Amino acid sequence: MSTKSAGLAKKLGYTNIRVLLAGEPGWAKAGYPTYAGREFISKGNIVLIDLRDADKDRTGRIPRSVSIPASSLKDMMSEIPLKAPVVLYSDREKEAARAWRLLRQEGFKKVSLVPGGIEGWVNSGGTLEQGPVVTEIRWQRKPGKGEVSLARFEKAVAGQLRNVAILDVRTREEAAEGKFAKAIHIPLDELSSRLGELPKDKEIFVHCTTGARADMAAQELKKHGYKASFLVAEVECEGTECDIEE
């Protein structure tokens, strides 16, 4: 994409063009912070964190933010949903950058900063809110494209949905430990040659242990004319007892 754009700029007559081939992922991987856009900060499905001390937070904060002072971020880490996009701000750039790196090191994949921190927010016309400090994180993952919601999947498991089949694409070894009683088990690597075992007239909910293989399987099924969606959740089975966790 960037090379295409660079080509266009060249056609427009620009003489001094370079491309960061590593892209945004390469930049972040090098440990350099990235920044969130205004719309994302005000409307995105994010966890917005105020890293300043609680008394500063009380007198004026970016709407929707929760207070986690930088000094206690390490201890509070487990409270932040790992899949949530996290946006951080402070009144000190260095402190925000440190927190950004810490979260990335801990496995958070979507972390960004408010450009210019609280000051940058105000200077660009952002509003502030006051009031008691909010510390409780309320973040709900929204199912992405092609996903089945956990609620619907659980209904299917309980046999409360008609015209639905559950497909388990884990390995034979994994399925031997346990599986959903109602599930059809076909390991992902055998799926292409065993499509005939699946009903074309039903909606198929695919699961694995995280969602990665289920996603691949659902794509494959859709290509062959099946109605399929996949579950993004941690699934662990023992016998016919399965634990599902978002």
Q: Residue 124 CB: number of other CB atoms within 10 A?
A: 11
* Shortest separation between residue 37's beta carbon and another protein, angstroms: 4
**Judged by CB, which is closer to another protein: 9, or 181?**
9
CA atoms of 10 and 228, how far apart (whole Å)? 44
> Does residue 56 interact with another protein by CB under 8 A?
no
1, amino acid identity:
M
The H or E element that residue 4 is part of is helix 2-11
**Judged by CB, which is closer to another protein: 88, or 156?**
88
**Judged by CB, which is closer to another protein: 31, or 199?**
31
**Judged by CB, which is closer to another protein: 56, or 110?**
110
Q: Is residue 67 classed as helix, strand or coil in its secondary structure? A: strand
> Does residue 236 interact with another protein by CB under 8 A?
no
> Does residue 112 interact with another protein by CB under 8 A?
yes
> Does residue 171 interact with another protein by CB under 8 A?
yes
**Judged by CB, which is closer to another protein: 72, or 192?**
192
CA atoms of 41 and 112, how far apart (whole Å)? 10
Please state the φ and ψ torsions of residue 235, each to the nearest 5 degrees. Answer: -120, 125
N-to-C CA span, the chain: 33
Q: Which residues are registered as beta bridge partners of 67?
A: 50
103, amino acid identity:
L
Choose one: 52-60, 61-69, 141-149, 163-171; the region binding another protein (CB under 8 A): 163-171
Query: Using CB under 8 A, which of 27, 92, 159, 197 touches another protein?
Result: 27
* Shortest separation between residue 219's beta carbon and another protein, angstroms: 4
CA atoms of 171 and 162, how far apart (whole Å)? 27
> Does residue 118 interact with another protein by CB under 8 A?
no
> Does residue 117 interact with another protein by CB under 8 A?
no
74, amino acid identity:
K
CA atoms of 52 and 121, how far apart (whole Å)? 14
146, amino acid identity:
G
* Shortest separation between residue 200's beta carbon and another protein, angstroms: 18
19, amino acid identity:
V
> Does residue 142 interact with another protein by CB under 8 A?
no
User: What does the binding site for another protein look like in residue numbers (CB under 8 A)?
Assistant: 1-10, 12-30, 32-37, 39-40, 44, 85, 110-112, 115, 169-171, 174, 187-189, 191-193, 212-213, 215-216, 219-220, 223
